[in-house]
């Protein structure tokens, strides 16, 4: 499974990239607002940090304006992935941009039928929102499983990018089902390494090492 980090915080992105755990970055208008920086400036900086795809989202709702904004975003860097809403205009733009050789990420997916349409439009990534589906009393993982089955049935190349991840268990379940990518907040990505028995074992080993009176090197 690939790991994308869902943030526009350059400091967090740089730290995770240096760990060697990062395969890409996803941003959206809300994250840009939180970062408090110009979208073009911060996106360019992010693209220079990571080698993988960096999703930059259009804000337009009609096809012509989406294409205009996409052309501007695509010029930021070669690893830009154009993020589009799952609407008819968004799917039309996805088809056009994919045909022109651009990477695309179709976002705000809440049903298997929507994911099927995105794959037909040639999306590079489809972003089903697990956490938001859980919020309305439906198991978001069922959606990931349905999309996985449909894509495997027809050998679609669109990658399932599990989004709106809230917990480390979301990551595990998405990986077990076969999601290609998980995009997670920085804190959740860091939390994947945590386990109380790991901490306890390390504490014991270090205490025993002190008792040996030795040093390495």
Alpha helices in 19-62 (DSSP H): 29-35, 39-49
Residue at 84 is within a domain: yes
- Looking at residue 132, its pLDDT comes to 97
Residue at 44 is within a domain: yes
- Looking at residue 185, its pLDDT comes to 96
HSE-up of residue 205 (Cα within 13 Å, Cβ side): 6
Residues in the chain: 217
Question: Cα torsion for 85, 88, 94, 95, to the nearest 10°?
Answer: 170
Pick the catalytic residue from 83, 92, 120, 211: 83
pTM (predicted TM-score): 0.95
CATH number for 141? 3.20.20.70
- Looking at residue 105, its pLDDT comes to 98
Q: What total of structural domains would you count in the chain?
A: 1
Residue at 217 is within a domain: no
Q: What range does the domain containing 61 cover?
A: 2-212
- Looking at residue 128, its pLDDT comes to 98
Residue at 171 is within a domain: yes
- Looking at residue 60, its pLDDT comes to 97
DSSP assigned state of 216: -
Residue at 64 is within a domain: yes
Q: Residue 97 corresponds to which tokens in the numbers above?
A: 């941009």
Residue at 103 is within a domain: yes
- Looking at residue 173, its pLDDT comes to 98
Residue at 120 is within a domain: yes
- Looking at residue 142, its pLDDT comes to 98
47: which residues sit within 8 A by CB, 6+ positions away?
A: 54, 76, 77, 79, 80
Regions of the chain with pLDDT less than 70: none
117-138 residue pLDDT tens: 999 999 999 999 999 999 999 9
Residue at 112 is within a domain: yes
Handedness of CA 69, 162, 113, 101 (dihedral sign): positive
- Looking at residue 109, its pLDDT comes to 98
Active site residue 83: yes
């Amino acid at each position: 499974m690939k790991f994308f980090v869902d943030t526009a915080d350059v400091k967090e992105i740089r730290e995770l990239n240096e760990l060697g755990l990062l395969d890409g970055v996803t941003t959206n208008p809300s994250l840009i607002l939180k970062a408090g920086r110009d979208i073009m400036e911060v996106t360019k900086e992010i693209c220079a940090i990571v080698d993988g795809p960096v999703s930059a989202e259009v804000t337009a709702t009609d096809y012509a304006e989406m294409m205009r904004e996409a052309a501007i975003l695509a010029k930021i860097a070669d690893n830009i992935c154009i993020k589009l809403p799952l609407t008819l205009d968004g799917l039309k733009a996805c088809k056009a941009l994919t045909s022109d050789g651009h990477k695309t990420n179709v976002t705000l997916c809440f049903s298997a039928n929507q994911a099927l349409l995105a794959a037909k439009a040639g999306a590079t990534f489809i972003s089903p929102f697990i956490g938001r589906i859980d919020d309305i009393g439906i198991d978001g993982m069922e959606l990931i499983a349905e999309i996985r089955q449909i894509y495997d049935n027809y050998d679609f190349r669109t990658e399932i990018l599990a989004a709106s991840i809230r917990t480390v268990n979301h990551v595990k379940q998405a990986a077990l089902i076969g999601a290609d990518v998980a995009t997670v907040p920085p804190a959740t990505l860091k939390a994947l390494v945590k386990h109380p028995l790991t901490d306890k074992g390390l504490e014991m080993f270090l205490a025993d090492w002190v008792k040996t009176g030795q040093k390495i090197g």
